[in-house]
Amino acid sequence: LVSDGGGAVVLVSEAKAEELGIPKVELSGVASTTTHRGDMAQMPDMTTTGAAVTGPKAFDEAGITHDDVDVAQIYDSFTYTVLVTLEDLGFCEKGEGGEFVEGGTTAPGGELPMNTQGGGLSYCHPGHFGIFLLIEAVRQLRGEYTGERQVDGAETAIAHGTGSVLSSSSTVVLERGS
């Protein structure tokens, strides 16, 4: 479903966050890359995305491992995109994305709850969906939800977006502030 929408992320100093009384969420790691120009036919390899570059860089900058990630928000333009991205980010080996998700690993209550807002394939797919990934990650880390949607005790979240024609990728690591 292609639809309109909008969102914003407001960054403030620690002092301002304390003044406002809002739970702090810190940006711990970020990386972006572009792998090719043109359409998908220009992809160097249909089974590898820029997440293979951005994931390790963002994780390294944040000083985390995959075991530290409590919740993931991954752009799901197509089912294929999610599986390849999970593999490229290193949550599972190449070719094992389907097996990784089929047992409920990414479902609510699973080992790696993913797209807790429902994902773009289930509720909307505007061209700027990446902002929704960041917003959901922040809300999860702040514990703003009740019920099954909230990942209990979430302290570390990743958001990963893939843009253009699978040519640009960005990974962001967010952590609950102290």
Q: Show which residues are catalytic.
A: 75, 123
Determine the Cα angle at 80 with ends 29 and 150, to 5°: 55
DSSP 128-149: THHHHHHHHHHHHHHT---GGG
Tokens 């980010």: give the residue: 89
State how far the Cα of 32 lies from the Cα of 123, in Å rounded to an integer. 26
State how far the Cα of 39 lies from the Cα of 56, in Å rounded to an integer. 25
95: left (phi over 0), alpha (psi -120 to 50) or beta: left
For the record, the structure tokens of 40 come out as 């998908």
Q: For the beta carbon of residue 157, count every other beta carbon within 10 angstroms.
A: 28
Q: For the beta carbon of residue 158, count every other beta carbon within 10 angstroms.
A: 29
